[in-house]
Amino acid sequence: MVRLIFLGKFGDVAPADLAEVSLPGDVRTLHDLQHWLARQQPLLGEAMAAAPTRLILNQCVAHDLSSPVADGDEVAFLPPMSGG
């Protein structure tokens, strides 16, 4: 299982059952994961397409979306931030 975390406005459109998912065999990378999610959840896909989205893999910024994703990983999806 892969743990998924949706922050900010992505959390409003991501259903709770996406918190832990079993990935299909053809989802091997962060890029695959993002596209698979967009197909499964069009509203989430639209929200991610509409804003610059950062992916965090196991609490580290993912600079390369070809990074592999496997069971036990945690992936977070971050919309634009608004601190301060």
Partner 1 sequence: MAVRVTQGAFDPQREIAAFTAGRDDAGALVSFVGYCRAVTGGATVQELRIDHYPGFTEKEIARLAEQVSRRFECPDFLVVHRVGTIHPGEAIVLVAALSTHRANTFDMVRVLMDYLKTDAPLWKKETGPQGTRWIEPRPEDHARRMEAEKG
16: contact with partner 1 by CB under 8 A: no
Contact flag: residue 72 with partner 1 (CB under 8 A): no
The residues, ordered by sequence, that sit 6+ positions from 18 with a Cβ below 8 Å of its Cβ are: 4, 6, 37, 40, 41, 44
Residue 43 and residue 41: Cα distance in Å, rounded? 6
Using the minimum distance from each CB to partner 1, give the nearer residue, 2 or 28.
2
Distance of closest approach, residue 51 Cβ to partner 1, in angstroms: 8
Does residue 3 belong to the site contacting partner 1 (CB under 8 A)? no
- Give the C-alpha separation, 64 to 74, whole Å: 16
**Which residues contact partner 1 (rule: CB under 8 A)?**
5, 7-9, 11, 51, 56, 59, 76, 78-84
